[in-house]
Amino acid sequence: DQQVKQNSPSLSVQEGRISILNCDYTNSMFDYFLWYKKYPAEGPTFLISISSIKDKNEDGRFTVFLNKSAKHLSLHIVPSQPGDSAVYFCAASGSNYQLIWGAGTKLIIKP
Amino acid sequence: DTAVSQTPKYLVTQMGNDKSIKCEQNLGHDTMYWYKQDSKKFLKIMFSYNNKELIINETVPNRFSPKSPDKAHLNLHINSLELGDSAVYFCASCPTLAGANVLTFGAGSRLTVL
């Protein structure tokens, strides 16, 4: 039972363009959402988060959008840079603070 | 100076053996976790400790036993290893249990059971 789904296993984007990574969830009790980035042979690192009381959070080149009615969030990276090539995990939590993770999307930035 | 360090990074062993993975964090965090990343790349929580006390114990076989000698350390011992235990195991920590779930992860320990 996947409560957090990242339906695109991989995404290829030209350097300088916008990267859009998507995430869907099924549990309406989730109230906090996070994106983590993972390079090979390293652990995931926190990137950006959003609370359910907001619909947008921005941090430099990274913006996360939350559509609660659609149970959908997305991560926008603009402009995309070669160093953004990594696996991006979406995660969600509710009142028990336990994170539920998606399977990740591998982002490849082409020069 | 690594914030969350795990050892060993790679571990290859035979079925039936017993092995341990160690984890240490120097961030002063209260809460530590063990996650398993399976073949489908999902990260699944196994255990969570808060100030040396077990908080979360997911449906993990009792062959897996975590031990937290102090709040900076959370070790994972696995008895009678099986083929299905092959995975990457990640240790993580966060400031408090009721925090914002911003975890700091170790680099992972890849376990291969032959």
**A46 near B CB under 8 A:** yes
Express each pLDDT in B1-30 by its tens digit: 679 999 999 999 999 999 999 999 999 999
Cis bond leading into A9, ω under 30°?
no
Whether B93 shows a pLDDT value over 70: the answer reads: yes
Residues of chain A with pLDDT under 70: 1
| A65 lies within 8 A of chain B by CB | no
Query: Closest by alpha carbon to A17, among A79, A71, A70?
Result: A79
Report the Cα B18 to chain-centroid distance in Å. 15
For B99, name the nearest residue in chain A, comparing CA atoms only. Answer: A97
B42:A99 CB<8 A: no
pLDDT by residue (tens digit) across B94-111?
998 776 578 999 999 999
Cα B23 from chain centre = 7
Nearest to A43 among B48, B97, B106 (CB): B106
The pLDDT assigned to B100 comes to 59
Asked if the C-beta of A30 comes within 8 angstroms of chain B's C-beta atoms, the answer is: no
Give tens-digit pLDDT for B62-89.
Answer: 999 999 999 999 999 999 999 999 999 9
What confidence tens digit (pLDDT) does each residue in B38-55 have?
Answer: 887 888 999 999 888 888
Beta bridge partners of A65: A56, A74
